[in-house]
Chain A
Amino acid sequence: MFIITSIGRAFLNFAAQIGRLFIFTMHALYACVRPPLYIGLIGKQIIHIGYYSLPVVALTSFFTGGALAIQIYYGGNQFNSESIVASIVALGITRELGPVLAGLMVAGRVSAAIAAELGTMRVTEQIDALTTLSTDPMKYLVVPRLIAATISMPILAFFADIIGVMGGFVVATQSFGFNAALYIQRTTDFLDFDDISSGLIKATAFGFIIALMGCYNGYQSAGGAQGVGRATTNAVVSASILILATNYIMTSLLFSS
């Protein structure tokens, strides 16, 4: 009996959580189309979310591109197919690794920061203070972060693509003696516009998820410092899982057609 009660309670809690997230998302989307729009705050958030994430995204994609080139070279070596390094690195980075790794890195950095900031504002009554000053916290705090992350992520993913391919190029030409011009030619030959655009479309969705999970968990946090800590952890975990799940769904949809 106890087990059934526990399962039932967990299921109800999960359903309630989904319901709250859905309502929060609807409120946030409605706030996005309702004036006023705080353009200055959106710009500030683009700097925080996009510009300041650039180094971490660049380093991650450079080393991933390099590691991918090594794996493909030694894998291809067994079938005398080392020449596929350039094309596979380009496709792997632009279609999957660029947007997903950028998404996961930004989720760890930005989602946590948003949840901590909004969570602290919640527990110190700063969000209540906004309401009493006739300012809608949804418009002032959530909308700028949502819009900024949705704009920033495809730009970051584009940089991740370029730097990831460059990582592969550096390893291939410096460690394995590939001809630089030939490597670039093979990369451009095999790369279509669709490969890049599919990655950027996915990155746009990841940007929305990252900001949404950060804002939702921060906004709903309660219970002092412990509550803020919990909100931060939940934001990163839920954003990361949702990014991977959304990536699978979007990849299926984009490439099955």
Chain B
Amino acid sequence: MIIIKDLHKKFGTNAVLKGVSLDIQQGQSLVIIGGSGSGKSVLVKCILGLEQPTSGSITIDAHEMIGASRTARHKINSRIGMLFQHSALFDSLPIWQNVAFRALQTPSLSISDAREIAAEHLIRVGLETSLLDAFPNELSGGSAKRVGLARAIAPDANGTPPDILIFDEPTTGLDALMTEIINDLICECVENLHATTITITHDMRSVRTIADKAALLYRGGIIWQGEQNDLSDVTQDTNPYLYQFMNGLATGPIEVVE
């Protein structure tokens, strides 16, 4: 279970997160939506320990993450699988080493076992094992996303897969067909791993496919959160912010951050 309480993050005088509070139950899939510059990626970086929040609290299974020791952070990170917006594949490593990277951190793991892990996960995300020895610069955007997903869900050398998955704009830059494929793959992976999932997106199709629960982040604060089913009841009168965002309207209370 992940609980975020009154999280603030400032860069100099610029407050990016202003008191974000969220809770995600074990096995639940939360989708955070919001426009560009609303603080979504900063929130994810705070959860991953890549940014130090100014104040507030992030607990993962009752362990406080803010100010946690290197060992505690390492232990939690070993349970987290992350798919980055632009995949962030290691371009100096072949695909099999990218996918099995977590497992390869155990020196006793043989190369053949690591390749087997990589092959199994490539197949799982719908790619051919002929890509094992390819390099990331040889892949299309959609394939890179799939490899990124395979790396996020791949287990460590003991065979333990991550039980927390974070996806940062998983469908950005993909065509409609590939977006559906990636969304379906994410659902499948989450279901198979019974993982707690946080997805950052501004794509409403992803919200409808992936989310158990959704939250709207606007100007560093959560201005709405609820079940996925609640989204169908939203009207201009009940929640003008969410309505504007869901329908992609240029006019409304949401001001675009330049």
Contacts and interface: CB of A to CB of B under 8 A. Distances in A.
A121 B89 CA distance: 9
B91 A126 contact: yes
Nearest to B107: A36
Contacts of A129: 82, 84, 88-90
B84 A131 contact: no
B41 to A, nearest CB: 10
Contacts of A120: 91
Interface in A5-39: 36
A189 interface: no
A57 B238 CA distance: 72
Interface string B93-108: 0000000011001010
Interface residues of A, number: 15
B19 interface: no
B78 interface: yes
Interface stretch (A74-82, A132-140, A197-205, A244-252): A132-140
The 9 closest A-B pairs by CB, nearest first: A125-B88, A129-B88, A132-B82, A134-B78, A134-B77, A125-B84, A126-B88, A133-B102, A128-B50
Interface of B: 45, 48-50, 74, 77-78, 80-82, 84-86, 88-92, 101-102, 105, 107, 151
Which residue among B48, B77, B88, B91 has the maximum number of chain A CB atoms within 10 Å of its CB?
A: B88
A124 interface: yes
Contact of A125 (B74, B78, B86, B102): B86
A130 B82 CA distance: 10
A128 B102 contact: no
Which residue among A124, A125, A128, A132 has the maximum number of chain B CB atoms within 10 Å of its CB?
A: A132
B7 to A, nearest CB: 19
B77 A132 contact: yes
Contacts of B81: 132
Contact of B88 (A117, A124, A134): A124
Nearest to B81: A132
B107 A133 contact: no
A120 B92 CA distance: 11
B101 A131 contact: no
Contacts of B92: 117
A132 B90 CA distance: 13
A121 B81 CA distance: 19
A110 to B, nearest CB: 16
Nearest to B70: A136
B105 A128 contact: no
A120 B77 CA distance: 23
A128 B91 contact: no
Nearest to A117: B92
B49 A133 contact: no
B107 to A, nearest CB: 7
Contacts of B78: 134
Given A126-B89, A129-B89, A131-B50, 11 more contacts: A128-B45, A128-B50, A128-B88, A129-B84, A130-B90, A132-B50, A132-B77, A133-B102, A134-B74, A134-B102, A135-B105
A185 to B, nearest CB: 50
